[in-house]
Amino acid sequence: MQSTPPTRRIFFKQLSLDARIGILEHELQNTQPLHVDAELDVEVGEPVNDQRIQTVLDYRLIRNAIIEECTEAHVNLLETLVERVVERLLNEFPAVRHVKIRISKPNAFSDCAAVGIELDRSRY
């Protein structure tokens, strides 16, 4: 029987950024705030060595990839953006086994805190 490799979860809660997203006229003209929540299950390849960051997946790299993917170009739909972020994380970081991303627009409606899209995907 083959055992599943251990994983470690990296998460971001309400990563805030400004992005060019949307199909409405005012959205095409200006950036708007987005909040990104992310959970990534990362395969543990070796024991953590407190003196060597190379023994873990540096979450700064993940954060940078998320920010870059969300801000590099105008995207019409949140669904498209969520797909792009998930694909990039799975392609760029081979140790990531599972990704759950939620991207929300906190200013979309005045009668709720946010509206958004969540995508949950495993490598296998």
pTM, 2 dp: 0.91
Domain map (residue ranges) of the chain: 7-122
pLDDT digits (tens, 9 = 90+) for 22-60: 998 888 899 999 999 999 999 988 877 777 878 788 999
How would you classify the pairing of strands 115-122 and 96-105? antiparallel
How does residue 67 score in pLDDT terms, banded at 50, 70 and 90?
very high
Question: Is a pLDDT exceeding 90 seen at residue 73?
Answer: yes
Question: Looking at this protein, which amino acid is placed at residue 1?
Answer: M
Provide the pLDDT for residue 68.
Answer: 98
Provide the pLDDT for residue 1.
Answer: 60
**What dihedral angle (degrees, nearest 10) is formed by the CA atoms of 84, 73, 114, 93?**
30
CA distance 42 to 77: 28
How does residue 2 score in pLDDT terms, banded at 50, 70 and 90?
low
Question: Is a pLDDT exceeding 80 seen at residue 78?
Answer: yes
Question: Which CATH code fits 7-122?
Answer: 3.30.1130.10
**What dihedral angle (degrees, nearest 10) is formed by the CA atoms of 56, 58, 91, 7?**
40
